[in-house]
Structure 1
Amino acid sequence: MLLLLLLLLLLIVLFLVYVIYYPPFWLIQCFQRRWPDVLWHVSTSEKVIALTIDDAPSVYTTEIFEILKANDAIATFFIIGSHVSSMEDEGDKILQNLIHGGNELGNHAMYDEPAYKLPDDELVSQINQVDKIIQNAHEAAKGVPIATADDTAFPRYYRPGHGWYNAKMRSIGMCIPTILKYHSQESTRRIFFAWRDLEESSSVMMDDRGRCLC
């Protein structure tokens, strides 16, 4: 009897882990209804998906950009401010190239850390800093002052670090993907999991790192 209970407990734990990392579409719809101010999914009759790239820029961003361009595709790159500053002028140039290529830039705060652990004032400060970095990139790319730039110069989406959020963060326009990244060094396995869970109008998240290049 004890063995059966332990087995049942193990199955429940495995199921919960599976649902967290590979949430079924019906669960995403429940989340969307429960927290409508958080963007999980957009209903559309078109056969489209939204590709998002986290933790940009990096030494791989340009290669990812070229792959997208070769396939007539664009993505939303969620920008970490410290990544831009660590690459100095090259980081700014990468952001401008992404903008020229029709890609969208989203806010991923200043550092790769769990956003829900940050004090309110620190979180707001980080978001404002990255907003400014993105706005400056649009100004440099388009050669017009921020005040006269189009609406895309102002990040429409913020994605919390490590994907978790709490009540205090919901006043920010947040984007949570319906298909989370699959951490694997094997491109074939990663593609399999993404395609298996793909739905029309899904948002797919990958990292701006070498292991995501297929």
Structure 2
Amino acid sequence: MRPRKQKQEKLRQVEHIMDKLKPFYGCHLLLIVMEYYVYEYFGIELLKMIPRPPNPLGVVVTKYYQLQIKKCKYKFNVISRIIGPAGSTVQAIQQFSGSRLQLRSDTSCDLHIKIIVQDFENIAHWRIQRAKDAIAYVLENKDNQVSLNQKAEQTVRNRCREIIATSNRCRLRTAHRGDNAWIEENDEYGQETISNYLARPAYETRNYIQ
């Protein structure tokens, strides 16, 4: 598929997901349903297929592997590519490989990734290799599939963040108008008191997206 058609297809999928999410606007289930759809449509296909490890040999050990990547070799932000929107890509890599990743970057060209695995000795080596394979796949970005999926996922997340922020602002304005009307009503009858006003329910705004 040509790049232009690829982008158009991803935009179509974004709009399709947002239509599916409309019944959940203003509902606490919005983010839960959103996670389902972004995984189904924009999850990296390789990382969805969890490989089966070999039969265990030896004893359980904790293995560490230091992977060094030259950031300056790439034309894109390597850290953002590996982490993905809201950490979704790095979480998928960890689930795919059964390992834990720690990323460390400095002002130099080097990105240091520590791969940590606790398992039987032969499986630990196997999991480290799976993590390296997954990272290489994400950076290779064959046919722009990884980058396009990440951009589309980020678009959905941004729109949901805006919907939640708008919904929270509306709730706060409604609460403010309700409190003002309540005070005016009590003033009219000479019954408004500060203690009663402070006893009313508090309203808070939460940022649901990391």
Q: Which has the higher contact order (CA 8 A, sep 6+)?
A: 1
TM-score, normalising length from structure 1?
0.20
Considering fraction of residues, name the structure with more helix. Answer: 2
